[in-house]
Amino acid sequence: MKEPWSIKIRARECAATGEPFEAGQKIRAAIFPDPESSGYLRKDFALDAWESREEKEPPFSTWITTYEPPVLEEKVEDVVDQDPESLLRKMVEEDEAHTENVRYILAVMLERQKLLRETDTQEVPTGKLRVYEHRKTGDVFIIKDPQIPLSDVDKVQAEVKQMLDPDPEPEAEVKPESEDPKEAVEVPDESKDEEE
């Protein structure tokens, strides 16, 4: 059975009223089980419409976020095509089981770079799902937490580094001091230039 990992796009209008959202408006994002598949549907609501909605189906995950209109970014041809975000998007879309560890490490890297924020964690029969929201676009990533053993974190990080930079310069190996694999994830140096 294919797992429901995917990217959920933020809506431009309220799912209940059809009213368009305004920039800066606080909205309620909700992920619901999709009755037509084993996946999930995202619906966005104005706060008052959420409280008065007629359907009372409990969401899988919900949080309050700020609506920002989508920004169309020009694609620069000389940009490296395997940055952490584009690699994560590609792997989530391909949904290959052998990339679960890498997807999780990429999501944690992007969270550390303040591009993603974790909005929820849900236990499901197949494990733990982490729900991340992209801070700029509002896209939602549902990532399975593979519970990587601390002894394997270095190996997975090396695999991620190899994917992002196939010809790296040699550097000194640093051992993680944390017992939590999420805290042991290293962020690439270029993230220091990112705005907070």
Both tokens assigned to 25: 């408006």
Q: Which residues in the chain come in under a pLDDT of 70?
A: 1-7, 71-81, 167-196
pLDDT at residue 47, as a whole number: 94
Q: Residue length, the chain?
A: 196
- Going from N- to C-terminal start, the domains of the chain cover 7-66, 84-163
Cα–Cα distance measured from residue 190 to residue 112, given in angstroms and rounded to the nearest whole number: 12
CA distances from 4 to 86, 129, 165 (A): 19, 10, 29
pLDDT at residue 37, as a whole number: 76
Residue 176: Cβ within 10 Å count = 15
pTM attached to this predicted model: 0.65
List, for residues 96-150, the tens digit of each pLDDT value: 888 888 999 999 999 999 999 999 998 988 889 899 999 888 889 989 899 888 8
pLDDT at residue 96, as a whole number: 83
Supply the DSSP symbol for 13: B
H-helix or E-strand containing 134? strand 127-134
Render 41-99 in DSSP notation, one character per residue: EEEEEEHHHHHH-S--PPPSEEEEEE------PPPPTTS-TT-HHHHHHHHHHHT-GGG
pLDDT at residue 152, as a whole number: 86
pLDDT at residue 158, as a whole number: 85
pLDDT at residue 97, as a whole number: 81
